[in-house]
Amino acid sequence: MITALLFDLDNTLLDNDLGKFLPAYFERLAPYFADAVEPPQLVNAVIAATRAMLANTDPARLLLSIFHAHFDPVIGWDTATIQTRFDRFYRESYPALRSVTAPRPTARCVLEWAFASGYQVAIATSPLFPVAAIRERLRWAGLNDFPFTLISGIEKFHFAKPHPEYFAEILAYLGRRPDEVLVIGNDWADDILAAAALGLSQYWIAPPGSAIPESAPKTPAQPLGIGDLDMFLTYARATLPTLAPHPAPAMALPRLLTGNLAGLAGRLAELPAPAWTHRPTDNGSPAGAWSPTEIVCHLRDVDREVNLPRLHTVVETDNPFISGADTDPWVTERNYQAQAGPQALQEFIAVRTELYTYLARLPETAWTRPARHSLLGPSTLADLVNVILDHDRIHLDEVRVIRQQLGITK
């Protein structure tokens, strides 16, 4: 059942011709760095840093840090000074770029219907700009007053389109499975193909009757519909309430594990030191109210001592018997609360990277390898990885609750 809608922004909800927008963008940005570089150098520096962000595959590296790593040496200033200049630009001059865009009248009708229908709604624009700049574009579209659950921005994301892991990271933030999400976007590669690689449903915002690009690689991409926003609204009202998408394909599972890692790393990167040991007053967890440090230590040890050995056994042994593991007592037995949370996070990143890298290298036939689980009964490798993903979502939600209780909203 679809419960969340991920809307692209530019040329989906807002008319924005990049051929006009980007020259105007650089023209207005240049004065803010004129005392450091000439305009051509500035343009080249931004383009090079943007390409580095687009190429990133590391779930532990924020896009903002990648941008600064490539842009700052060209400018020759410290990161804080450069960020201050960008903040001023987005506050003072960026709003004038509204003149090269145009709102799409139906966009507001679509979002009013989506929120009134109870869907979780996110703005899934490639996170190459700060959230403040994306909110400004939403203002140009006449959509800035909606309570979006998430707006993907450079400050919090680790992947950009067309990496499917970008959508996996969104799923981690929203706490949704692939079969609960619909992506609505205009770009075939960035939106439709990337979403399809994770098994997400897609609606292609394109001229009615548009043909699927002949140059597209073989892919499971089969948009639910093709048309403008008016056509999407008609389709969504009639079809989404009863739509039952298929679960994610097995080959998408390593990417979903990567997205969960990125989502957790992003949520924990902003925590002040005292927050690492904060236990929520009530989070509804059967394991009890754990702190971020306890959650990360738990995830680290379960991946290292249970999940990795278990998955190796299934791949390397014919129909093995898999025992259940009660790992919740480790929280007190191993005194997780006394460990260093940030260090435990780095250790979890390392072991989770080993896990999803191992799975990503397996042939498609490996995902149906059988096992006999003491609690789940007859299972496949794909079943066991889906259990890991479900387990991740429980603890990602606990971290969300902790951030809410601490008033951390970024």
Question: Where in the chain are the domains?
Answer: 4-13+102-242, 16-98, 250-405
Instruction: Tell me the β-bridge partners of 377.
Output: 373
As assigned by CATH, the class of the 4-13+102-242 domain is alpha beta
pLDDT, position 287: 43
pLDDT, position 407: 83
pLDDT, position 221: 76
Burial bucket for residue 335 (CB in 10 Å: 0-12, 13-18, 19+):
exposed
CA distance 176 to 133: 26
pLDDT, position 216: 56
- The two tokens of residue 128 are 């190459």
Pick the CATH number of 250-405 from 3.30.70.1560, 3.40.109.10, 2.40.30.10, 1.20.120.450: 1.20.120.450
- Give, in degrees to the nearest 5, the angle at Cα 34 between 28 and 37: 115
Residue (of 194, 191, 189) closest to 163 by Cα position: 194
pLDDT, position 286: 42
Instruction: Tell me the β-bridge partners of 151.
Output: 123
pLDDT, position 251: 92
What residue type is assigned to position 163 of the chain? Answer: H
pLDDT, position 290: 94
Q: What is the mean pLDDT of each run of 10 residues along the chain (410 residues)?
A: 97 97 97 96 97 96 97 96 97 97 97 98 97 97 97 96 97 96 96 95 94 68 92 96 91 96 90 90 59 97 97 96 92 96 96 96 96 94 96 93 81
pLDDT, position 212: 85
pLDDT, position 285: 45
